[in-house]
Amino acid sequence: MNSRIERYVLLRTLTGAGAALAVISAVILLVQFVDLSRSIGGRADVSAADIFGLTLLKSPAVIQILLPFVFLSGGIAAYVGMNRRSELIAMRASGVSAWRFIMPSAVAAFILGVFAVLAVNPVSAALSARFEADRAAIMAANYMVDQPKDIWLRQGDERTQMVIHAKARDTVQGKVRLRGVSLYIYQKNKTGQPEFKRRVEAAEAVLRPGFWQLKDVREATPGESSVRSDSLSIRSTLDSEAAVERLEAAEAIAFWRLPGAIKQTEDSGFSASSYRLRFQQLLATPLMFAAMAVLAAAFSLRLVRLGGLAGLAGAGFALGFIVFFFNQFSGALGKADIIPLFAAAWAPVVVALLSGLTVLCYTEDG
């Protein structure tokens, strides 16, 4: 009997989460469609279908950020509904503890969080990259060129370091192409300190497997005159995807590629704090989903006859938003190296989980 009750509550909470996901997704799609219509459709000759296609590519990244609210709002809606129909009262009268039927929902949220990290996140990152490429193609076709921004890349290994500066970049047949390129090449001395060796300037640099292919090159070494050549190949430790990742925010990199991005960034002499923080936040995602499921139950179990259920559910929503902003704030502190990255990623999750468990203990056990 108890197992049937647990399955019923789990089904109700998953149904509520599915409904919440549908509503949140619809709102995000609408907002993104309007925003893209204003920013691109109003200035370029593109159809509504093209705008909607861009919306479908961009929206998953935003939906992923709001997934914890799916479990919070869906859970609250499900538990409040069962409470108003006196189903929770009947369950408790039959001797079933709230802990008994809340646990399956929390475990299911945790499992879905693992799925979101391992499967949804890489797909979202790939769609975001496709969105940027399609958006750039539309802008180029309509002569809508953004103000150029300087591009900086860095690569290296245990012997050499190379800083790459370019005026512009694009992607041609899956290969990264830089224009107006300057390469500053350093070599580590016996003490491990980098020493400047040469500077290479080129009109264009295309990243091919294992090397940069430069065109219209001028190479200068300290104390010697510059040398010109039509083309030059320089070894590269980057691939096209890694090079693009260096130009994107940590949030745009798929979970599976974050460890490699961390290693390559640190090998190049850069700080990988943002990548490490993002990796820890993704690891904490399943527990965050479970914490939101517990919070949803904690703020929805108050008996209807006691009154104040709507206010308590509203407080649950408010606490969810507080956790969200606390997560953003602690992330900013972590990126600034004010607090440890591990604490920045896991503190909001622990606060949310402990808050839910505390309210549950007070409601269920007095």
For 304, which DSSP code? G
- 231 neighbors 213 (Cβ within 8 angstroms): yes
Could you tell me if residue 122 is left (phi over 0), alpha (psi between -120 and 50 degrees) or otherwise beta? alpha
Digit-coded pLDDT (tens) for 104-153:
888 899 999 999 999 888 888 888 878 877 776 776 665 544 544 677 77
Q: What average pLDDT does this structure show over 20-45?
A: 83
> Is the Cα torsion angle 325, 274, 127, 347 positive or negative in sign?
negative
For 120, which DSSP code? I
| Domains of the chain and any CATH numbers | 2-141+274-365 (no CATH), 158-236 (2.60.450.10)
- Model pLDDT, residue 89: 73
CB proximity list for 301: less than 8 A, separation 6 or greater: 79, 83, 88, 98, 360, 363, 364
Give the residue, 318 or 270, on which the prediction is more confident: 318
Q: Considering only 155-169, 227-241, 297-311, which range has the smallest mean pLDDT?
A: 297-311
Rounded Cα gap, residues 131 and 57, in angstroms: 5
Q: Look up residue 319 and give its two tokens.
A: 């606490």
Q: What average pLDDT does this structure show over 252-272?
A: 76
Residue 2 has pLDDT above 60, yes or no: no
Coil, strand or helix: which one is 195?
Answer: strand
- Model pLDDT, residue 30: 92
Q: Look up residue 360 and give its two tokens.
A: 């549950």
Q: What average pLDDT does this structure show over 286-294?
A: 91
Most trustworthy range by pLDDT among 9-13, 139-143, 335-339: 9-13
Q: What average pLDDT does this structure show over 198-215?
A: 85
Rounded Cα gap, residues 136 and 214, in angstroms: 24
- Model pLDDT, residue 229: 85
Residue 366 has pLDDT above 60, yes or no: no
Average pLDDT of the chain to the nearest whole number: 80
- Model pLDDT, residue 327: 87
The helix or strand, by DSSP H or E, that contains position 163, with its residue range, turns out to be strand 160-166
Residue 198 has pLDDT above 90, yes or no: no
For 146, which DSSP code? P
Q: Look up residue 317 and give its two tokens.
A: 């929503």
Rounded Cα gap, residues 352 and 324, in angstroms: 10
